[in-house]
Structure 1
């Protein structure tokens, strides 16, 4: 009895130690190997298409790989061109209206200054003059200190901003090198997929290979499900905004809806980065009907996103909505914005390991060996 318990504790220790080692290795090497990880993920996505061309149309493997990579590159460039074209058209339209916006903004600022700031300053000045000389000196010192602190903070911010420009420029050659490495690695891995797959399998026992194969299968399904979920959510956001802007008779509804759908992927801010400044400006300029209309559209988007995201992710990836909601919440609470980005990856990994029955096999190893 004690001997069996000792072996179980030993196997538990081995599992914990192995998980710890894997985590530490990944943690300290991720910044060096992430281009290779990206290349492997791209190869996973391209492999089915390359195999289809190879088997269906009798393409040589290298020709099929080149065809898929070029097609993916052209699709990406076309997508970027479409975005740039839409943005340029929208910016040109907005540029024609900028002088009017500035004139209106100046009028609003002048009204705020005359109606609120100057009377407030006069009341504050009269209040200060009623104080004794020592109190007035103290207040002036505090105001001077505040102004100096603000100036120092502004100077430091500007200094850091200027210093960051050379750092950003210096990263550009490195970024180009990384992109070239990813493209070449993706080509090599995809072209030699079968050979590399066979060599990788020869390094591990059949039992591990079997589990690894199941994990990879589930990862493919979960990744495809996650992409489908995000496309669905973005499409819903796009349609809601487009219909709302058309009803409100806003100029360039297609461009605005497209941009809003794209920024919907940003953590925390989402469509708010576009709608909130717009709503504030319309309110300050007195365009209350359009202000109310945009608030309604924005609230509908926020509510739909909060309701549908866990459900859509769960149905697409294969997790229960409650499990998906818990993972998303824990990721955001523990890691903030980074957690918002990592949470979907955790969803995919948890689902893949669960569907591949890895937790059950680990427990079976600990209990029975």
Structure 2
């Protein structure tokens, strides 16, 4: 009897998850357009919530705690606005205008390499080289086009930039009120179990989001500083891109390395080697020291599960799907684990 009940409930859970995923897939474009500021605001609120809680524990009211943290954050933005942001905007404008030239130069480099190796190597080896060069060329040009769209979209969504901090303010200020109202909507007989699940999900998501943002900040800042010291053009913008894509586990560092390598190689081929060494050092520091200290094993997922979720998320929802794949999978795992424990009991 227990086995039948367990099988039925587990099957129902997976059917519901499948239906939800199918529905999200059907409306993904509209859904991301509507929910993107809310998702970013929730991530922003998760990042600031520990600071707000810290201030609140000192005897300051919740509203004034959020206000104080916001004032500190605005002060930081003002400092960056005077020093860093004008440079980023200027570099972004130049990078977007130069991208077609970079794509053309990549094609010229590939053409010259083919011509130089054509008469020096056997035809069979040349065919293999040409096939792989075609792939590398496609990846490089596609990456440059992607960079252009990412940068333009990032700076063109000015409305989201205004809405996100406003939404995050209310999420932080009214956190307990949101929790109370949602709790009242849950039937009494399921309330304890659902609150336990939500607490576990909140803990996993909070640790992961805060950790990923801090690690991405380290990677982006380190990349920008390193490229600046190596005198690579667009160091701040490339560092910003590296930080943004670093939130994608495993694949993010590779995506972030492509623009730096291309720009450095076109400037001076030897610089590409130094950039490769720089990126390798940063990634070793991130994977060996920074990520374990900050994130640890907060999501509790096996690397195979993470990679599979990234492939699925990327296939159906693009870059955004890859960014959300791990926290979504971790949430499903937490819910499934609690459901299994509930069924066994």
TM-score, normalised to structure 1's length?
0.57
Q: Of the candidates 308, 314, 325, which is equivalent to residue 330 of structure 1?
A: 308
Equivalent residue number for residue 63 of structure 1: 64
Gap change, CA 1:281 and 1:41, over 3 Å in 2: closer
Report SS of the residue matched to 1:264.
helix
How far apart, CA to CA, are the structure 2 residues paired with 1:232 and 1:277?
21
Does the C-alpha gap of structure 1 residues 82 and 190 become closer, same or farther in structure 2, counting only changes over 3 Å? same
Query: Structure 1 stretches of 5 or more lacking a match?
Result: 95-108, 117-163, 283-290
What SS class does the counterpart of residue 48 from structure 2 fall into? helix
Secondary structure, aligned partner of 1:45 = helix
Q: How does 1:217-256 map to 2 (within 5 A)?
A: 217-238=203-224, 240-241=226-227, 245=230, 250=231
Partner in structure 1 of residue 278 of structure 2: 301
Distance 1:304 1:49 in 2: 31
C-alpha separation in 1, matches of 2:279 and 2:54 = 41
Give, in angstroms, the shift of residue 209 of structure 1.
Answer: 0.3
| Aligned-CA RMSD value | 4.6
Tell me the equivalent position of 2:48: 46
Matched residue, 1:188: 170
Deviations 1:27-60 (A, max 9, x none): 54733333333333333333333344344263x4
User: Normalising to structure 2: TM-score of the pair?
Assistant: 0.60
Task: Confirm or deny: 8 A CA contact 2:223 2:279 kept in the other structure.
Answer: no
Distance 2:7 2:310 in 1: 34
Evaluate the alpha carbon distance shift between residue 242 and residue 15 of structure 1 in structure 2; reply closer, same or farther with a 3 A threshold: same
Uncovered stretches (5+) of structure 2, i.e. residues with no partner:
95-107, 116-148, 246-251
Note the C-alpha offset of 1:213.
0.9
TM superposition shift of 1:24? 4.6
C-alpha displacement of 1:207: 1.2
Distance 2:24 2:214 in 1: 28
Contact 2:310/2:326 (CA < 8 Å) preserved in 1? no
Aligned to 1:364: 341
State the distance in 2 between where 1:326 and 1:306 align.
Answer: 20
On the 8 A contact 2:42/2:168 being kept in 1, the answer is yes
Change beyond 3 A, Cα 1:34–1:269: closer
Residues 161-212 of structure 1 show CA distances to partners (whole Å, capped at 9, x for unaligned) of xxx9xxx99x97xx55555444433333322222222222222311110121
Alignment match, 2:199 = 213
Q: Residue 35 of structure 1 corresponds to which residue in structure 2?
A: 37
Go from structure 1 to structure 2 and tell me whether the alpha carbon gap of 1:233 and 1:365 turns closer, same or farther (over 3 Å shift). Answer: same
Map of 1:82 onto structure 2: 83
Query: d(CA) in 2 for partners of 1:352 and 1:314?
Result: 20
Aligned equivalents of 2:316, 2:282: Cα separation in 1: 17
1:145-294 aligned within 5 A: 178-204=160-186, 205-238=191-224, 240-241=226-227, 245=230, 250=231, 257-265=235-243, 266=245, 269-282=255-268, 291-292=269-270, 294=271
Q: Greater CA radius of gyration, 1 or 2?
A: 1
Contact 1:40/1:189 (<8 A) preserved: yes
Structure 2 CA distance, aligned partners of 1:57 and 1:9?
A: 50
